[in-house]
Amino acid sequence: MFNLILFGPPGSGKGTQSEKLMSRYGLKHLSTGDLLRNEIASNSPLGMAAKSFMDKGQLVPDEVVIEMIDSAIENNPQAKGFLFDGFPRTTAQAEALDKLLMQKNAPIAVVLALEVSKDELVKRLMNRGLTSGRSDDTDESIIRARIDEYERKTAAVAEYYDQFGKVARIKGEGTIDDIFQVLTDEIDAKIEA
């Protein structure tokens, strides 16, 4: 099994690059943002609870997303590896993920961390808001709240994985294809190692 995390602030290109990586490597894509939006679309109790946090630009509580990822992993026993997108977002989530993967003897191989300036993030998300219909993408103050939440709670996840030497930091500005090339170089080096 080959497991990787695509990491970065909101709007850094995680969802965009995940689509491309998934088709290149045949990994199972697990995006907690997408899983939560599916729960909201189906009006489930979990979705309704999550919506109140997401609409304010806040993180959904750890226990909710950890349980969701746990069942997504269990529901995909044939996966040859997972691409985690937007998860983990706190060190508690990272520790929980490591525990889940330890049971499968398949630890995270690499954390690819996309780095993008704050101004560029706001610009991209406002732009996406014009067409995505996502309520958290249309209001600049909510976008800024998401970036603040990232700095307060999520940036530390990269430091958590640094202690195991697993983080590759990658400039997330430039063309989508150029960034994809750098990401695949990092992954190929890990696969060959």
Residues contacting 167, CB < 8 A, separation 6+: 7, 110, 111, 113, 158, 161
Tell me the C-alpha distance between 32 and 80, whole Å: 19
CB 76 within 8 A of CB 70: no
Closest distance to ligand B4P from the beta carbon of 192 (Å): 26
Give Cα 95 to chain centroid, integer Å. 15
129 binds ligand B4P (CB under 6 A): no
The terminus-to-terminus CA distance of the chain in angstroms comes to 14
Size of the site for ligand B4P (CB under 6 A): 29
Q: Which of 16, 39, 72, 183 binds ligand B4P (CB under 6 A)?
A: 16
Determine which residue in the list 2, 7, 39, 86 makes contact with ligand B4P, applying CB under 6 A: 86
Q: Which of residues 62-81 bind ligand B4P (CB under 6 A)?
A: 65
CA 9 to chain centre: 9
Copy the structure tokens of residue 117. Answer: 């300036």
CB of 165 to ligand B4P, least distance (A): 23
Contact flag: residue 12 with ligand B4P (CB under 6 A): yes
Q: Does position 32 bind ligand B4P by CB under 6 A?
A: yes
180 counts as binding ligand B4P under rule CB under 6 A: no
Q: Which residue is nearest to ligand B4P (CB)?
A: 33
Per CB under 6 A, the segment of 38-46, 58-66, 71-79, 183-191 that binds ligand B4P is 58-66
Residues in contact with ligand B4P by CB under 6 A are 10-16, 32-33, 36, 53-54, 57-60, 65, 86-87, 89, 93, 124-125, 127-128, 136, 146, 176, 179
